[in-house]
Amino acid sequence: MSEADTEYQVAVVGGGPAGLTTALYTTRLGHDTVLIDRGGGRAAMMQETHNVIGITEEVSGNELIQTAKRQIESYGADTVRGLVSDIHGSSGSYRLDVGEETYTADRVVLATGFSDDRPEPPLPRTGRGLHYCLHCDAYMFIDESVYVMGTNESSAHVAMIMLNFTDEVDLLLRGEEPEWSEETDRQLRAHPVDVIEAEITGMNTDQDGWLNSFEFEDGTTREYKGGFPMFGAEYHAELARCST
C-alpha cells in the first residue's frame, strides 16, 4: 500500500450507523474519506431492525451494515477492517495506527459508540429475551410479561416506564440490595411493579430460542417474554483521550 493510498481528508472511526452515516455525508460532500471499522458493535447484534425508517424488520443488523458499506463505497469512500490503536497529531494532521498500517487524515470523526454491561448468566440470547435499548424494543412487549434487571436508579425508573406498555412488570434484584433513592423507592412502591429479591438459578427457552421463564433460588418460576438489564455501559473514549 503506497503512502498516497493512506492519505485522506476525513477518517471515520467506527462502522455502526453513526459512522456509516457520517462517511456517507462526507463522501457525498466531496471529501476523500476512509471508514475504519473493527467489526462487532451493538448494531451487528440486531436480529431484526427496528425504528429505522424505510428498513423493514426482517433485515438484520449485519445486513443493514453491509448494505450501508456498499453504499458509501459506491460513492468513493474506502472501508478498512481493523482496530485503530492510537491517534497522533492535531487538527489538520492526524496519524491513525491500524495494525501495521498508518493512515493520515486532516480530520477524524470518532463514532466508536459503547458496550452494554452484561449481567451474570443465566441469560437468554441478545434479541431473544435480552434487550438493551428501551426506545428500540419496548414496543415488542406490549401486553407481555416483562422483567427489568438491576438495582440502580435507572432500573427502577425503566420498570415504571414499562407500565406504559404492559401491566406485567417485574424488577429483578438478583439477590442484591437496591441502590435507588428513598424518593424513587416511594414512587416505585406506588406502582404495580413486583420487586423480586431472589437470585436467578435457571432459565427456560422456547424452541425458537426465545426466553420463556426464569427459575429463582426461592423455588419459584416466573414467565417472561423478555426484558431489559440496566447495568450501565462502557463508552469507548480511549481514542478521544489519545488525540487530545
Reported as type and span, the H/E element at residue 235 is strand 233-235
* Omega before 119 within 30 of 0, i.e. cis: no
Residues ≥6 apart with Cβ < 8 Å to 231: 116, 117, 118, 119, 149, 150
Q: If you ran DSSP here, which 8-state letter would residue 139 be given?
A: G
Q: Mapping DSSP to helix (H, G, I), strand (E, B) and coil, where does residue 13 land?
A: strand
As a whole number, mean pLDDT of residues 164-171 equals 98
Residue 50: its pLDDT value, please? Answer: 86
List pLDDT tens digits, range 55-77.
Answer: 888 899 889 999 999 999 999 99
Q: Is the pLDDT of residue 114 over 90?
A: no
As a whole number, mean pLDDT of residues 146-159 equals 98
Q: Is the pLDDT of residue 242 over 70?
A: no
pLDDT band for position 220 (cuts 50, 70, 90): very high
- What are the φ/ψ torsions at residue 44 (nearest 5 degrees)? -65, -20
Residue 84: its pLDDT value, please? Answer: 96
Query: Which residue carries 441502590 as its cell?
Result: 179
Show the domains of the chain with their CATH numbers: 3-112 (3.50.50.60), 134-233 (3.50.50.60)
